[in-house]
Amino acid sequence: MEIIIQKFGGTSVADAEKIRQAAKRVIKTAEKGFGVVVVASARGKQTDQLVADALELNPNPPKREMDQLLSTGEQQSVSLFAMALDAMGCDAISFTGSQIRMMTDSVHTKARIVSIDGKRIRRQLELGKIVIVAGFQGIDEHENITTLGRGGSDTTGVALAAILGAKLCEIYTDVDGIYTADPRIYKDAVKMKQISYDEMLEMASLGAGVMHPRAIEFGKKYDVTIHVRSSSEDIEGTIITHEVPQMEGVVVSGATIQRDMAKISLVGVDNVPGNAARVFAHLAKAKVVVHDIVQTEVSSDKANLSFMISISDLVAAKEAVEQIKGDINCRSVFVRKDIAEVSVVGVGMRSHYGVAEKMFEALAEAKVNIDSITTSEIRISCSVDEDQAEKALKAICGAFELHKPAETRNA
């Protein structure tokens, strides 16, 4: 029996009507002869409510107890989902993370999966049942309940697909797939039929927040085909899969905007081994997530070191930099707020020239000034003024014809 994993997020199980809708979709898949394993998140705003309940009692609740509390949200969803299926005449059974031995490490609130016992799920599938698994949660070796942190339910879905050798992991969500750009900004953006894990990873971490990078990494590592699709409409979404030859024909798959960034520049730092490491170790200790880093030599013994951070990390980052400033002999510190990063992503870049040139030309024509530039093998990012970011994205989308299906673009 071929197995399909169907993951429903919080909005897709928010109330009785939504649960019934999701259950109908599950039954349709089961009727085609597939073994269906459903992964469900907590209902709608349930998790927010529980967090509020916790904070009312304790501004800094112990993480173990937080996991104990939050995991109830998914447990409620899965039992209700099983009841809905039963009411439709369909045999179903729900499981918590504990019940399928979803073993994790003990890092509460952001645990990592260690192993899953697929036996119990398989046995129930063989009995003809639909299996509903609570996403986001596991247990450690002492039976303490853990949660997987952001994107946890996606990760549960992909991990189950891996362990059960599923044909597909379907992620049902409130968008109907991955677009070449954010359609709220670039209204001509088109839905991609498929995208590679690497491209999706770049786009996910650049803020195209449909799926959490971690679940995609998991998919890549264990070769799980992921289908991101709409929970309200029955149309094909976007397949995330391994790179296939025709993907390389497409130079740029998509473009993204990441807003609310700030840049910190350390000017005239002593250019000696270990100084950069010292800076970023210090920032990590302050829990600042550093995005792109640019270092340029300004003389034989001095360098300028810049890095991008989220504006929300700015206070912590500035404090950390002030503490370390003397140690690295930094002459001065500049902070630039109100910047955004526009990027193009595409595995085709590996084998095509001129992508950067085309991007810079498009920005120049649109009179957008580029602050700094960073690149990876399959991505080029330019930081620009926040208030020019949308104009920049539109210009780039036009230049790379992101309003057309991939196969009809001029490479």
- 68 interacts with its own copies by CB under 8 A: yes
Site membership for its own copies, residue 75 (CB under 8 A): yes
* Residue 8 C-beta: closest distance to its own copies, Å: 14
The residues facing 290 across adjacent strands are 309
Contact predicate 335/266, CB 8 Å: no
User: How far apart, in whole angstroms, are the C-alpha atoms of residue 351 and residue 347?
Assistant: 8
User: By rule CB under 8 A, what count of residues binds its own copies?
Assistant: 37
- 65/371 with CB nearer its own copies: 65
Question: Per CB under 8 A, which of residues 136..155 are in contact with its own copies?
Answer: 143-145
Q: Which stretch binds its own copies (CB under 8 A): 55-63, 153-161, 177-185, 337-345?
A: 55-63
Question: Locate tokens 């088109």: which residue?
Answer: 190
Between 72 and 230, CB nearer to its own copies? 72
Which CB, 72 or 375, lies closer to its own copies?
72
- Single out the residue of 1, 32, 33, 56 in contact with its own copies (rule: CB under 8 A): 56
Cβ closest to its own copies, residue 137 vs residue 381: 137
Q: If binding is defined by CB under 8 A, does position 124 make contact with its own copies?
A: no
Residue partners of 332: CB distance under 8 A and separation at least 6: 267, 268
Q: What is the dihedral of CA 289, 294, 297, 302, to 10 degrees?
A: -20
What is the per-residue burial (b if ≥16 Cβ within 10 Å, else e) of 65-74? ebbbbbbbbb
Q: How many CB atoms lie within 10 A of CB 108?
A: 20
Check residue 51 for interaction with its own copies (CB under 8 A).
Answer: no
CB of 96 to its own copies, least distance (A): 7
Q: Which of residues 79-108 bind its own copies (CB under 8 A)?
A: 79-80, 82-84, 86-87, 93-94, 96, 98-99
Percent of the chain that is helix, strand, coil (3-state, to 5): 40, 25, 35
Please say whether the dihedral angle defined by the alpha carbons of residues 159, 163, 164 and 168, taken in this order, is positive or negative: positive
Q: Which residues bind its own copies (CB under 8 A)?
A: 16, 19-20, 50, 53-54, 56-59, 61-62, 64-66, 68-69, 71-72, 75-76, 78-80, 82-84, 86-87, 93-94, 96, 98-99, 143-145
